[in-house]
Structure 1
Amino acid sequence: MISNSKTSTIFTILCSLLVSVALTSVHAASLRTAKRATTCNGSSQLCDRLYSNVTFAGAHNSYAIVHSGTTLASNQNASITSQLNAGIRMLQSQAHKSSNSSVTGAGIDLCHTECSLFQGGTIEYWLSQVKSWVDANPTEVVTLLIVNSDTLPASQYAQAFQSTGLASKMYTPSSGVLTKQQWPTLGSMVDSGKTVVGFLTSGTDTSTVPYLLDEFSNIWETPYDQTSVPFNCSIDRIGSNVKSTSQNLMYLSNQFRDLSLFGGDQITTPDVANIGSTNSEATTLSSSDTCASEHGSYPNFILTDYSTVPDYDFPRAVAQMNGVSYTAPAQSSNSNGLSSGSSRTTSSFSSSIALSFIALSSALVYFIL
């Protein structure tokens, strides 16, 4: 006969086992219902793809937005928000040490070649626009590529990322150099909330700023300042530490067409007269097909000038490369009053070329003298 004390002990053990089983079941159920991205960069088809297996539409000098009479020093016609709304997912910028002695913040300005030719504002202003947009669009993965023109330390850039709050959104890998196979899926990045990838062309220090990666250790580029099509797809810039393993890296295709002002390669400007054909679906797909035939895959990033012209052809072509559909944003005027439609925009560019040429020539004479 079992005593009352033993019966009580057995009952307690059985209750504990039942509670343990119940908690295990609840935990397993919670794992099954854990957050998992269902839409990434506008499509459910992209969530399971590696970041390195997606082509991203990019804006060359994304901050250099056209104003009346300054097209020779500008590269885009839409605001940062409008670019992102149109499907641009790489924003490139050119950073310089600020010459403003009373500047606050990180002391970095975004300028096209010389700040006296085009002053695009502080890096904080640029990053704050990105932060606002990614906060409002948490399922979109965006890449920032910063040309570190004055070789400023990564810690100086980190000040701007931290003050704008964007540092909290930055993807931080375990290593500063990744092969194509080591990148995460877009879905995992969305789930983690780390949806912004950052690259610097020089000056990185991943031991102190691990979210700013060295571009040329992870990405190689095709030639830039090309003045004719078809675009050259050869390897132009690549880190010496990864030159022998270029096939393991992502690559960026520079598909912006320049115009030589004085018959040489020293001074060029965006070839706005041909922007409609340069950024067309046909040219974008043809140029990218050529690169794919040479390197075994489409470019991971494609940079263009006036990326929303004509009529969003460029981001639409990139969507085709990714095998997904594209929906253009509602037609609206940008903050500078220019439409994304091809006829009005290209005519606006053409009408201001003469004035811009005079302004730039005057500036060049000033520098020479």
Structure 2
Amino acid sequence: MLPAVLLTTLAGMLVPWQVQGVPYAVAKRASICNGDASLCSRRFSNVTFVGTHDSYAVSSSSIAANQEQPVAQQLADGVRMLQAQAHKSPNATSGSGIDLCHTDCQLFNGGSLEAWLGSVKTFVDANPNEVVTLLLVNSDGLPASTFAKAYQSTGLDANSWQPSGGESAIARNAWPTLGSMIDSRKTVVSFLASGADVSSVPYLLPEFSSIWENPYNQLTVPFNCSVDRIGVGQAASNLMYLINHFKDLSAFGSSTIVYPDKGNLSTTNSEQSILSDANNCAATSPGASGNYPTFILLDFYDTPSQAPFKAAAQMNGIQYKPAANASKSEGGSSKGSGSSGSSSSSSSAESRLARTAGALSVAALTAALLL
């Protein structure tokens, strides 16, 4: 039998005052997760995150660029998944010897992996209630231990979530909630597209054991949402999925040499286009099983301003809220809050159920403590 505990309510949380005259401390639980209280009880796999394709490839003029805002601003605007291509550095300027390059470091070098991870570390330390996902394409087949050097030198390994059982494949329904990740201060989830070794670096997870992707480098719309890349032996319906929602143009008539279609960004990145793509995937792709994507990768996410974040909020069944430190568009409006979105087309009902369950849990806890 638990001792009697006096309780009070502070910001919606039960806070014990004392146990038989002795101060009694309880770990504070997250009340806001990725910008909304209802997301705290949502599994990581059942939240849709706005992501940036080639997040490091930042330029307003280079044909090899995919973004115009630096990573720090992407995160401030609400982007919660960052994708990057990792290559062996031609100059070995960092401890890991990894640079982030677009296809080839001579074409576009976005700097060291350490600098990129450092921006993430700064953000998550300043925003402990935000869960951020990193996806690294291991272009040169480097060992996971080499990536770990960069995580360790920036201190991001301390923020990195890892499965408690050391498993490499995580089913969609086996992911923890955002609230539990935030409570444990493990708010960075990292995937390697290839070369992961969870026995030596348990926080660098093999992407295609937990995620499937639709085709990329698509030249026409509507986008194809078929299962294009997935781990051997994995069932798509058992995994999260990522949609590559960016339209390319062909160079020299090639289907492999492509560049972003910047002229149609206002259409491609519009709220309507993103919702249409996500709804199509949820409804027609056997791998989606009626669920919205967990990740949506975009080129030049900030054109048009706010649209991707509004779309994600709708998928999540929550109210859209502009990010507090978002950049401003030319018209003066702030860009959107980022990690909103759910991965179920019945997310509004799920959100109501989650809130009800949360209230019941508080009531049950109160009753138990007062026995």
Bin of the TM-score, shorter chain as denominator length: 0.7 to 0.9
1:57 pairs with 2:50: yes
* Residue of structure 1 in register with 2:291 after alignment: 297
Aligned to 1:252, what secondary structure does the other structure show? strand
Q: 1:264, CA displacement in angstroms?
A: 2.4
Q: Deviations over 1:172-225 (max 9, x none)?
A: 102121101110000000000000000001111101100000001110000000
- Is 1:97 matched up with 2:88? yes
Q: In structure 2, which of residues 159, 162, 168 is the aligned counterpart of residue 172 of structure 1?
A: 162
How far has the Cα of 1:327 moved from its partner? 2.6
Give SS of 1:303's match: strand
> Partner letter of residue 327 of structure 1?
K
Q: Decide which structure has the larger Cα Rg and report it.
A: 1
Distance 2:39 2:23 in 1: 26
**Aligned-pair CA distance for 1:104:** 3.3
- Amino acid aligned to 1:226: Q
Give secondary structure in 1 for the equivalent of 2:224: coil
Q: Is the 8 A contact 1:312 1:340 kept in 2?
A: no
**Distance in 2 (alpha carbons) for counterparts of 1:279 and 1:194:** 31
Q: 2:188 aligns with which of 168, 191, 196?
A: 196
1:39 is aligned to 2:29: no
1:125 aligns with 2:115: yes
* Alpha-carbon distance change, 241 to 121 in structure 1, aligned in 2, over 3 angstroms: same
Distance 1:36 1:258, change over 3 A: same
Tell whether 2:307 aligns with 1:317.
no
Is the alpha carbon distance of 1:88 and 1:282 closer, same or farther for their aligned partners in structure 2, counting shifts above 3 Å? same
Q: Which residue of 2 aligns with 1:328?
A: 322
Corresponding position of 1:306: 300
Residue 325 of structure 1 and its aligned partner are, at CA, apart by: 2.1
User: Equivalences for 1:1-369 in 2 at 5 Å?
Assistant: 25=19, 30=24, 33-67=26-60, 69-70=61-62, 72-101=63-92, 103-173=93-163, 174=165, 175-242=167-234, 245-294=235-284, 295=288, 296-329=290-323, 332=327, 339=329
The structure with the greater share of residues assigned to helix is 1
Matched residue pairs, number?
Answer: 313
Q: Secondary structure at the match of 1:132?
A: helix
- The percent of aligned pairs where both chains have the same amino acid is 54
Checking the alignment, whether the CA contact within 8 Å between 2:56 and 2:116 is kept in structure 1 is yes
8 Å CA contact retained: 1:332, 1:340:
no
After TM superposition, give the deviation of residue 323 of structure 1 in Å: 1.1
Q: What do residues 308-359 of structure 1 show as CA deviations (whole Å, max 9, x unaligned)? A: 21112112211111112223346746xxxxx5769xxxxxxxxxxxxxxxxx
Shift of 1:28: 11
Is the 8 Å Cα contact of residues 73 and 326 (structure 2) preserved in structure 1? no
Confirm or deny: 8 A CA contact 2:114 2:150 kept in the other structure.
yes
Give yes or no for contact 1:319–1:325 (8 Å, CA) kept in 2.
Answer: yes
Q: Which amino acid aligns with 2:176?
A: P
Q: Measured at CA, do residues 274 and 207 of structure 1 come closer, stay the same or move farther in structure 2, by a change above 3 Å?
A: same
- 2: CA distance, partners of 1:332 / 1:290: 31
1:262-300 Cα shifts (integer Å, max 9, x gaps): 122021000000011000000000010000102211001
Query: 1:355: which partner in 2?
Result: none
Q: Secondary structure at the match of 1:47?
A: helix
TM-score by length of 1: 0.81
Code of the residue aligned with 2:305 in structure 1: it is D
Aligned CA distance change for structure 1 residues 322 and 97 (closer, same or farther; 3 Å): same
SS in structure 2 opposite 1:110?
strand
In the superposition, relative to structure 1, how do residues 92 and 341 fare at CA in structure 2: closer, same or farther (>3 Å)?
A: farther
